[in-house]
Structure 1
Amino acid sequence: MAPDILADPETDPTATYAVEPALVRRLTSRVVCSPRPEHRLTHTPVGGAPLASLPLSTPDDVAVAVEGARAAQRSWARTPMDLRERILLRYHDLVLERQVELLDLVQLESGKTRRQAFEEVADVALVSRHYARRAAGYLRPRRRAGLLPLATRTVEHHHPKGVVGVVSPWNYPLTLAVSDALPALMAGNAVVLRPDLQSSLTALKAVALLVEAGLPESVLQVVLGDGATVGQAVVDHADYVSYTGSTATGRRVATSAAARLVGCSLELGGKNSMYVAEDADLDRAAARAVGACFSNAGQLCVAMERVIVHESVADAFTECFVAAVQGMRLGSDLVYGFDMGSLVSAEQLRRVTEHVEDARAKGARVLTGGRARPDLGPFFYEPTVLTGVTAAMDVRDEETFGPVVSVYRVASDEEAIRLANDTDYGLNAAVFTRDVARGRRIAAAIAAGTVNINDGYGAAWGSTAAPMGGMKASGLGRRHGAEGITKYTETQTVAVQRLVPLSPFAGMSDEAFATVFTGVLRALKASRRP
């Protein structure tokens, strides 16, 4: 573990996992709050010990943060793109160099395993490098076809929105705090970030590294508080909102943004399906399903909660899968070597328990798991595989957001597609087959923003040049790729008309002008001009 992260148990034996107060003071000094703010004590899922006392912002503090960010944004927008690029490339290096400290904080705040925490470090490095290298190309002025060849010269420009509000959740403390902020900053915006209180230290550390990389401090402001007050205040003041979280809250964010006529991007819930076709490599599919279903204890918006298996291989696959799940190593120590960590809170444990017990009471079979593990930590729950799930059970259609997956049998690809699409959500999906062309055909028929073939979520998530987001109730907009940065801009068209006017010449009647222009339009069609 990194030095200066954990309190010394010899001097404070009740706070073995508490973060050093000196580090907390350094990190929280960046929070926009009053001189004497209210504080909130957070606890780690790893043992439940006190973690840190955090200062809370108020809605008035949010207004101050937005005002400060708006003032800083004007000069930041004039910063040359190559300087912004150097800052992000330096940030890429710092995140990798300081990963031990980041990993400790991610684990302490979320309860996930170290390997799954490393996914966040890798993701932030990937996003940093991608937008450092590609932002200028995504945003450069582009010539567009004008009304009349040679006579109309049209150029598309992208200007920053102004202040982008980022409201991020607790389940991916590093990734979701900064991976949406980075393209917003590269586009010339300032950012006001409200991370979830449970994951605030990781977010603050990520911001500190950005400042160390060269980002002006006032360009990225941080406020802390609950979603209903401080998060809502960010939504009420920002020029654009990026929100990741539940569908219910996402609807309220969208309503608030729409009332102000500002844009928003929303990555929301999912009830994601993985289909195992009859020609799949079953050992590989079972092994990949473990990570796809139980990474971050299932507290992952793109995690698989439904495994759909062709009936001809259902018994063989289920046997392999259950054996793999039973072999998982559970733990959340700050070392590598575990397959699944803890749920984040008592609320998450309650929801998981209720879904499993409701299914069990209504006739579902628990093939493995199905119980809490207080011997490992206060919020541990065993990875659980259910079968016999029906529409009468909450787990069938509601997002569990925990280590619970249901196995379903189907007789054909068409039936698998219907079941995968039989949900209000449309975030992520997976198809396992040896025939990639077949996998692509199935993928195209699934209503999900990303579909992985022979992988659970990493292939699509790690493809930072390609857009990622949800259909249906899983959200609006996309992160990653060109859409992940142009959404933070106002698109402007500048058209110059030369040589001939777009109106009757001197002495020409309106009727004659219409006749001439009709001929021009027909000629343009004949030339196959778009």
Structure 2
Amino acid sequence: MNPTGNLHDRAAAALRRCGASAPALDGAHTVTSPIDGSELARLHPARAADVDATVAAASAAFGHWRQVPAPMRGRLVRRLGDLLGEHKSDLAELVTLEAGKIPSEALGEVQEMIDICEFAVGLSRQLYGRTMPSERPGHRLMETWHPLGVVAVISAFNFPVAVWSWNTAIALVCGDPVVWKPSEKTPLTALACHALLERAAGDVGAPAGLHHVLVGDAAVGEALVDDPRVALVSATGSIRMGRIVAPRVAARFGRCLLELGGNNGAIVGPSADLDLAVRAVVFAAAGTAGQRCTTLRRLIAHRSVVDELTERIAKAYSGLRVGDPFDDGVLVGPLIDGRAHAAMRTALERAELDGGILVTGGDAVEVPGDGVYVRPAVVRMPAQTDVVREETFAPILYVLTYDGFDEAIALHNGVPQGLSSSIFTTDQREAERFLAASDCGIANVNIGTSGAEIGGAFGGEKETGGGRESGSDSWKAYMRRATNTINYSDDLPLAQGVEFG
């Protein structure tokens, strides 16, 4: 047993070790821990005037930072990665305090930050353009990439630091300052990260004003979305939020990078290794108390294996310890708040009305304090009804049955969201057909839907928003492309053979 103790004091101590000021206790914005509902801080939220001044400062910094060679910009991110490694346990503790993740998951999230810094440092020497053959003699045709401008990052509570780092490490090496609006539920992690980044900037002599944090409500986010000086808005959140953000940014011809809802499905074929599938499904569906965008929410199992598979998953669920994430042996921590619990109860009621059968879980777990704890639920469904097609941000796994592979693909793709997907099979043809047919941004074989690595581009299609963050060529979202034609001849031939003489 590792007693929680005074959570406010623990948060304050972790912040101080990261170089941030102790959390205020006299502001209008109250930060509470989902672990027991206790108060962590009362912060002073940003106002509209603060947003204007912050974006102005970031815009001024852009004028300097864009002139710094990209490999030199990489020095800042390298130093940030070093500091994140030094303060890994402090940041992980803040993630657990604010988001309720179990320590191993919190440490994993901070490791993602370190990993993306390493990736971005290498990227700082690989912002490659292309040289293309010109149809005109004595001419060279090429493309070059240039810093874009101020990047606004609007992040969600469930990954309070990793998603920020995916954007910020890449944006900084691309030459862009960052203004970060963290979730109102997890601002302390943002203050700690900001302090470490400022220290890194001082250590390498980077210009001031490259990074800013704005703590506040939706009005702060709206001000960033509408500001024409913000070149790119990278927003993570609900589909409803994306429907608001996208047209407003488009109206001013800005750029959007959206990471929205996920209603992720996994197909389990008749040839699947069920031992492997059960382990993967349990982590993907119950990890982080079902509060990942990549959480497995729909299990589409072949009729020949569905009964055994469901029984084995239910048995595994019965061994999951739910409780205070700081307690030894706990694998499922709290829901973020009572609203999440209410949404879960409503979804389970709707599933029952649709003919669903609750196999296990769904009940509340009593834990000292005012946190909200539930047992992850498994529900057998007769069909993919409306409630199954909607994302409920809670640990509910709907089990569906199929007979033919085409039916499985139709069920899998028959939702509005398109983030992550997987199949469990030892049939190579099935695996290849699935990779070609899945309409998601992420498609896996014999692993779950969650646990993406930073080397690949992260994001989804359809109502997930189409954005890509982290690895591969996601960096292109943070830069602008120019096509250049250079005439090194003494003549002036026109393209397509046009004569104008």
Tell me the TM-score normalised to structure 2 length: 0.91
What is the one-letter code of the residue matched to 2:132?
Answer: R
What is the one-letter code of the residue matched to 1:401?
Answer: F
Corresponding residue number in structure 2 for 1:497: 487
**Counterpart secondary structure, 1:455:** coil
Determine if contact 1:283/1:320 at 8 Å carries over to the other structure.
no
Corresponding residue number in structure 1 for 2:240: 248
What is the one-letter code of the residue matched to 1:501?
Answer: L
Higher normalized contact order (CA 8 Å, seq sep 6+, divided by chain length) = 2
Residues 216/178 of structure 1: CA separation in 2 closer, same or farther (3 Å cut): farther
Determine if contact 2:101/2:325 at 8 Å carries over to the other structure.
no
Mean CA deviation greater in 20-29 or 407-416: 20-29
**Counterpart secondary structure, 2:335:** coil
- Confirm or deny that 1:144 pairs with 2:132: yes
- 1:250-284: CA deviation from partner (whole Å, max 9, x where unpaired): 11111111110011110100111011111111011
Determine if contact 2:294/2:419 at 8 Å carries over to the other structure.
yes
**Counterpart secondary structure, 1:366:** strand
Unaligned runs of 5+ in 2: none
- Confirm or deny that 1:83 pairs with 2:75: no
Report how far residue 38 of structure 1 moved.
Answer: 5.2
Structure 2 CA distance, aligned partners of 1:17 and 1:142? 51
Structure 2 CA distance, aligned partners of 1:37 and 1:114? 29
- Confirm or deny that 1:387 pairs with 2:380: yes
Determine if contact 1:85/1:132 at 8 Å carries over to the other structure.
yes
Report how far residue 203 of structure 1 moved.
Answer: 1.4
**Counterpart secondary structure, 1:457:** coil
- Confirm or deny that 1:454 pairs with 2:446: yes
Structure 2 CA distance, aligned partners of 1:169 and 1:291? 21
Report how far residue 142 of structure 1 moved.
Answer: 2.9
Residues 156/279 of structure 1: CA separation in 2 closer, same or farther (3 Å cut): same
Mean CA deviation greater in 345-354 or 17-26: 17-26
Determine if contact 1:297/1:402 at 8 Å carries over to the other structure.
yes
Corresponding residue number in structure 1 for 2:217: 226
Corresponding residue number in structure 1 for 2:31: 42
Q: How does 1:489-528 map to 2 (within 5 A)?
A: 489-499=479-489, 500-503=491-494
Q: 2:174 aligns with which of 187, 198, 207?
A: 187
Residues 164/65 of structure 1: CA separation in 2 closer, same or farther (3 Å cut): same
Structure 2 CA distance, aligned partners of 1:18 and 1:488? 33
Determine if contact 2:263/2:390 at 8 Å carries over to the other structure.
yes
Report how far residue 483 of structure 1 moved.
Answer: 3.2
- Confirm or deny that 1:466 pairs with 2:456: yes
Q: 1:317 aligns with which of 285, 309, 317?
A: 309
What is the one-letter code of the residue matched to 1:426?
Answer: G
Structure 1 CA distance, aligned partners of 2:252 and 2:23? 29
Structure 2 CA distance, aligned partners of 1:104 and 1:167? 22
- 1:86-121: CA deviation from partner (whole Å, max 9, x where unpaired): 222222232222111111100010111112112211
Unaligned runs of 5+ in 1: 505-509, 516-530
Structure 1 CA distance, aligned partners of 2:207 and 2:182? 20
Report how far residue 43 of structure 1 moved.
Answer: 0.8
- Confirm or deny that 1:93 pairs with 2:82: yes
Determine if contact 1:195/1:224 at 8 Å carries over to the other structure.
yes
- 1:50-89: CA deviation from partner (whole Å, max 9, x where unpaired): 1111110012111100000111111112223233222222
- 1:195-217: CA deviation from partner (whole Å, max 9, x where unpaired): 01211111121122222223544
Structure 2 CA distance, aligned partners of 1:22 and 1:242? 26
Structure 2 CA distance, aligned partners of 1:178 and 1:296? 19
Q: How does 1:189-338 map to 2 (within 5 A)?
A: 189-214=176-201, 216-227=207-218, 229-237=219-227, 238-334=230-326, 337-338=329-330
Determine if contact 2:77/2:172 at 8 Å carries over to the other structure.
no
Determine if contact 1:107/1:332 at 8 Å carries over to the other structure.
no
- Confirm or deny that 1:357 pairs with 2:349: yes
**Counterpart secondary structure, 2:186:** helix
Report how far residue 497 of structure 1 moved.
Answer: 2.7
- 1:159-186: CA deviation from partner (whole Å, max 9, x where unpaired): 1111111111111111122221111111
**Counterpart secondary structure, 2:41:** strand
Structure 1 CA distance, aligned partners of 2:167 and 2:494? 46
Report how far residue 144 of structure 1 moved.
Answer: 2.2
Determine if contact 1:427/1:470 at 8 Å carries over to the other structure.
yes
Determine if contact 2:23/2:42 at 8 Å carries over to the other structure.
no
Report how far residue 315 of structure 1 moved.
Answer: 1.3
Residues 503/115 of structure 1: CA separation in 2 closer, same or farther (3 Å cut): closer
- Confirm or deny that 1:54 pairs with 2:43: yes
Corresponding residue number in structure 2 for 1:520: none
Corresponding residue number in structure 2 for 1:176: 163
- Confirm or deny that 1:378 pairs with 2:377: no
What is the one-letter code of the residue matched to 1:124?
Answer: M
What is the one-letter code of the residue matched to 1:101?
Answer: D
Report how far residue 415 of structure 1 moved.
Answer: 1.1
Determine if contact 1:85/1:186 at 8 Å carries over to the other structure.
yes
- Confirm or deny that 1:485 pairs with 2:478: no
Residues 72/284 of structure 1: CA separation in 2 closer, same or farther (3 Å cut): same
Residues 176/466 of structure 1: CA separation in 2 closer, same or farther (3 Å cut): closer
Structure 1 CA distance, aligned partners of 2:23 and 2:340? 30
**Counterpart secondary structure, 2:59:** helix
Report how far residue 289 of structure 1 moved.
Answer: 0.3
- Confirm or deny that 1:130 pairs with 2:131: no
Structure 1 CA distance, aligned partners of 2:407 and 2:335? 33
Report how far residue 305 of structure 1 moved.
Answer: 0.4
Structure 2 CA distance, aligned partners of 1:498 and 1:350? 69
Report how far residue 236 of structure 1 moved.
Answer: 1.4
- 1:318-345: CA deviation from partner (whole Å, max 9, x where unpaired): 1111111111122233366322111101
Corresponding residue number in structure 2 for 1:68: 57
Structure 1 CA distance, aligned partners of 2:117 and 2:78? 7
Determine if contact 2:266/2:449 at 8 Å carries over to the other structure.
no
Report how far residue 152 of structure 1 moved.
Answer: 2.0
Report how far residue 22 of structure 1 moved.
Answer: 7.9
What is the one-letter code of the residue matched to 2:210?
Answer: V
**Counterpart secondary structure, 2:40:** strand
Question: If you compute each CA radius of gyration, which structure gives the higher value, 1 or 2?
Answer: 1
Structure 2 CA distance, aligned partners of 1:281 and 1:93? 40
Structure 2 CA distance, aligned partners of 1:108 and 1:226? 20
Corresponding residue number in structure 2 for 1:519: none
**Counterpart secondary structure, 2:457:** coil
Q: Give RMSD over aligned pairs.
A: 2.8
Residues 351/262 of structure 1: CA separation in 2 closer, same or farther (3 Å cut): same
